[in-house]
Chains A and B, each alone.
Chain A
């Protein structure tokens, strides 16, 4: 279904006209968008006049210009296959950067004869008998050109290995954009396709469109997936023996027609371009999303809304209202169609998460549903996450990446488990159970670094709350501190926080307090450790009594009320879910002490959480 929806999206894009440029955002069949840096300006007789820099500079960065050029294709292996009327310097001029420079006296560039000869031969063949002035000029240039001339003016080293196009003096458009060149290219394309079709002898059904036509052996490359190769990867590829079946090779394993292959890859390449607003990088997975509505304007708006919901930052809705309150409203149960009435809830949404795997691209998750579903599930997600006191400002919730970082060892991005990202996002969007991995990873983090902060508590609580809501467990975990109706493990967590508080009051903020030394043991095997801690608590309590009588009495009362609900013998060990309950109880109880105090300097890090709003 993925490829079919991408194919549909391509044709919808092709119909759309950008209000600024009047052009469609995607190139038509037979053309692709490439990065071109320089343009060779020729005279009518083919003499080289100048090499023009056509790069664009914005925000102090110089970027190559993106032009629609005759379609590029994959060039595997060493046999040269030149492009039509554009290519890199190695083909067009016959020079490239030296690969094996041993001494600094060696030349910086060398001649690439094979590639250049292939380019010249092919163009002389294509362009013979052409009467257009521009094509004649290019032909003359190629006949006269000698790669050694690169050492002279107007060439310089920065031109090496960049992409070049041609333009003839007196014409305002590039040679490949002229009518004659386009017609010639399209006829060459149809000729080669029908040649392939003749060779294949049979026409197979395309599995995207259902048309019977010749199939595409290698699909065009998909560039722009974060972490992938610069030459692009393939979504559909059969690049090792083990992936082929029934004796078929390469594209025969999945018959897709040339047109459909072109359509879906162009659409995906378009979506992956960050600046178009369709792609978000969520913890190492390039997530693209698009919508299908009656008109493109609605689609664009739906995309913007979705993008800000998924990664809340300083986005503003088109209607002017700030999106910061959107998530808060969703969590309180307001429906998406009420918050944003302009959006039809039946708009169809597609979300595709891609990640590179050597030269292939693997699908991390695929979501296909309507906007109403997405809204409902997002609202459920934020509702499950609610924990009091809220570790983040209601109008500024953290991004998905910020949550995932809490599950990673040493809080490093590269240590985030990639499968967890996909599964968690899938459960957020589809409303299914959260992955258990989420819970286990966080519990592991708590045991190793002892940092029970608000985000971790919220994540744990969300997993337990959703399990309860779906009926997988009978033990309810409260949103805010509630000792009365809570399971044993929760109370033990509260108790641990009380004990810690007493020690802190008695001895001041000790570096190796009971939290560091005993948290993981207390959470896992309470039976063995709590009696000792409670005994120590009595000593601490005595000390606190002398300095701050009121607080000591408060602590003792808390302890009694917690312990009154505990069974006579403490559990010998706690399951992972119960360890989660322990953590939440600890967080609730600890925060209740913090909010009472007037000086919060030492607890500033875990009281309110500041999101920095930027997604990874």
Chain B
């Protein structure tokens, strides 16, 4: 596909949190399409394009590790922030962390590496002079240089994702998965969240075949059987 890109990403830790295990975080075994989209968007995104992830190649064996961190249990309310902006004063807008201390355990992935194959589509916010080729070039240029709007992350911001563009002529990094790990069912995995419709999450049946996870198009998940 001419508007497709291949990006090699890797990191020391990753946490693609399962929605049901949000509190005591437990990661999915493999990067979710939504996290992959987040990484692509960190490198290049404009309202004119929408990224669609096609395939994810898993390069390293799946390893978990458990860590415990001290966090807090409350959030600053939006209303509080808005009123602080209006009144031009942050008086009263704070959290005393000692009062809301919570210790949370997290089971995260260690030493991950993936190749994301994705393409983008133009949305209805595209200008007449926007074309796919232009955005593709921009993305490639930025990915080559290592430019990004914000540092891409592996699920949560504290786990950085390093990235490198795979050019057409480059050789692809080899997968280090053993033969037994290449084929696995991963059950129902979060595909993405439909932000235009009440933040509805959508799931799909994820499977690793020969180390590759095929990601269906997001819109096919909406159809109620």
Interface residues of A (CB under 8 A from B): 1-4, 202-205, 207-210, 212, 235-243, 245-248, 253-256, 357, 360-366, 419, 422-423, 426, 430, 432
Q: List 5 A-B contacts (CB under 8 A).
A: A2-B21, A207-B201, A235-B21, A246-B193, A432-B63
Closest to B190 in A: A207
Tell me, in angstroms, the Cα distance from A237 to B21 when the chains sit together. 8
Supposing A202-B198, A364-B66, A364-B105 touch, asked if A241 and B74 sit within 8 A by C-beta, the answer is yes
Supposing A242-B72, A432-B63 touch, asked if A363 and B187 sit within 8 A by C-beta, the answer is no
Residues of A within 8 A of B20 (CB): 3, 207, 235-236, 254, 256
A244 to chain B, nearest CB (A): 8
| Contact, CB under 8 Å: B186 / A1 | yes
Residues of A within 8 A of B3 (CB): none
Supposing A254-B20, A365-B66, A432-B63 touch, asked if A212 and B73 sit within 8 A by C-beta, the answer is no
Tell me, in angstroms, the Cα distance from A202 to B197 when the chains sit together. 11
Contacting residues of chain B (1-33) with chain A, CB-CB under 8 angstroms? 18-24, 26, 29
State which of B23, B188, B200, B202 has its C-beta within 8 Å of the C-beta of A237. Answer: B23
Residues of B within 8 A of A210 (CB): 188, 203, 205
A443 to chain B, nearest CB (A): 21
| Contact, CB under 8 Å: B24 / A362 | yes
Binding site secondary structure of chain B = strand
Tell me, in angstroms, the Cα distance from A204 to B19 when the chains sit together. 14
State which of B23, B65, B72 has its C-beta within 8 Å of the C-beta of A423. Answer: B65
Residues of B within 8 A of A247 (CB): 199
A207 to chain B, nearest CB (A): 5
| Contact, CB under 8 Å: B107 / A238 | no
Residues of A within 8 A of B83 (CB): none
Contacting residues of chain B (194-217) with chain A, CB-CB under 8 angstroms? 198-203, 205
Supposing A253-B19, A254-B19, A419-B66 touch, asked if A207 and B188 sit within 8 A by C-beta, the answer is yes
| Contact, CB under 8 Å: B188 / A363 | no
Tell me, in angstroms, the Cα distance from A419 to B203 when the chains sit together. 32
B179 to chain A, nearest CB (A): 13
Tell me, in angstroms, the Cα distance from A202 to B194 when the chains sit together. 14
Most B Cβ at <10 Å: residue of A4, A242, A254, A426: A242
Residues of A within 8 A of B65 (CB): 423
Tell me, in angstroms, the Cα distance from A93 to B103 when the chains sit together. 41
| Contact, CB under 8 Å: B24 / A255 | no
Instruction: Say whether B176 faces chain A, with CB atoms less than 8 Å apart.
Output: no
Closest to A418 in B: B68
| Contact, CB under 8 Å: B199 / A422 | no
Contacting residues of chain B (91-107) with chain A, CB-CB under 8 angstroms? 100, 102-105, 107
Instruction: Say whether B64 faces chain A, with CB atoms less than 8 Å apart.
Output: yes
Instruction: Say whether B121 faces chain A, with CB atoms less than 8 Å apart.
Output: no
| Contact, CB under 8 Å: B23 / A208 | no
Tell me, in angstroms, the Cα distance from A254 to B187 when the chains sit together. 15
B225 to chain A, nearest CB (A): 8
Tell me, in angstroms, the Cα distance from A422 to B26 when the chains sit together. 14
A605 to chain B, nearest CB (A): 35
Residues of B within 8 A of A248 (CB): 199
Supposing A360-B24, A363-B24, A426-B64 touch, asked if A240 and B102 sit within 8 A by C-beta, the answer is yes
Instruction: Say whether B86 faces chain A, with CB atoms less than 8 Å apart.
Output: no
Instruction: Say whether B79 faces chain A, with CB atoms less than 8 Å apart.
Output: no
A266 to chain B, nearest CB (A): 16
State which of B63, B107, B200 has its C-beta within 8 Å of the C-beta of A202. Answer: B200
| Contact, CB under 8 Å: B21 / A242 | no
Tell me, in angstroms, the Cα distance from A1 to B26 when the chains sit together. 10
Residues of A within 8 A of B107 (CB): 363, 365-366
B216 to chain A, nearest CB (A): 13
Instruction: Say whether B82 faces chain A, with CB atoms less than 8 Å apart.
Output: no
Residues of A within 8 A of B187 (CB): 1, 4
Tell me, in angstroms, the Cα distance from A361 to B105 when the chains sit together. 10
Residues of A within 8 A of B103 (CB): 357
Residues of A within 8 A of B203 (CB): 205, 207, 210
Closest to A251 in B: B20
A272 to chain B, nearest CB (A): 17
Residues of A within 8 A of B85 (CB): none
Instruction: Say whether B71 faces chain A, with CB atoms less than 8 Å apart.
Output: yes
Instruction: Say whether B75 faces chain A, with CB atoms less than 8 Å apart.
Output: yes
Residues of B within 8 A of A208 (CB): 188
B164 to chain A, nearest CB (A): 26
State which of B71, B104, B199, B202 has its C-beta within 8 Å of the C-beta of A246. Answer: B199
Closest to B201 in A: A255
Most B Cβ at <10 Å: residue of A207, A208, A212: A207
Residues of A within 8 A of B64 (CB): 365-366, 426
| Contact, CB under 8 Å: A240 / B198 | no
| Contact, CB under 8 Å: B22 / A366 | no
Residues of B within 8 A of A204 (CB): 200-201
Closest 10 CB pairs of A and B: A362-B24, A254-B20, A240-B73, A254-B19, A246-B199, A236-B20, A362-B105, A241-B75, A4-B187, A243-B23
A253 to chain B, nearest CB (A): 6
Tell me, in angstroms, the Cα distance from A239 to B104 when the chains sit together. 13
Closest to A248 in B: B199
Tell me, in angstroms, the Cα distance from A215 to B18 when the chains sit together. 17
A182 to chain B, nearest CB (A): 31
Tell me, in angstroms, the Cα distance from A255 to B198 when the chains sit together. 13
Residues of B within 8 A of A254 (CB): 18-22
Tell me, in angstroms, the Cα distance from A181 to B178 when the chains sit together. 56
Residues of B within 8 A of A236 (CB): 20-21
| Contact, CB under 8 Å: B26 / A363 | yes
| Contact, CB under 8 Å: B199 / A241 | no
State which of A202, A243, A365 has its C-beta within 8 Å of the C-beta of B22. Answer: A243
A207-B20, A357-B104, A366-B107 given; name 5 further pairs at CB < 8 Å: A2-B26, A209-B188, A242-B71, A242-B72, A365-B66
Closest to B64 in A: A426
Residues of B within 8 A of A212 (CB): 224
Residues of A within 8 A of B74 (CB): 240-242
A92 to chain B, nearest CB (A): 35
Tell me, in angstroms, the Cα distance from A246 to B68 when the chains sit together. 24
Most A Cβ at <10 Å: residue of B24, B73, B100: B24
Tell me, in angstroms, the Cα distance from A208 to B74 when the chains sit together. 28
Tell me, in angstroms, the Cα distance from A228 to B75 when the chains sit together. 26
| Contact, CB under 8 Å: A363 / B21 | yes
State which of B19, B73, B193, B201 has its C-beta within 8 Å of the C-beta of A241. Answer: B73
Residues of B within 8 A of A1 (CB): 29, 186-187
A265 to chain B, nearest CB (A): 12
Tell me, in angstroms, the Cα distance from A230 to B126 when the chains sit together. 58
Tell me, in angstroms, the Cα distance from A236 to B20 when the chains sit together. 6
| Contact, CB under 8 Å: B75 / A242 | yes
| Contact, CB under 8 Å: B23 / A238 | yes
Residues of A within 8 A of B68 (CB): 419
B100 to chain A, nearest CB (A): 8
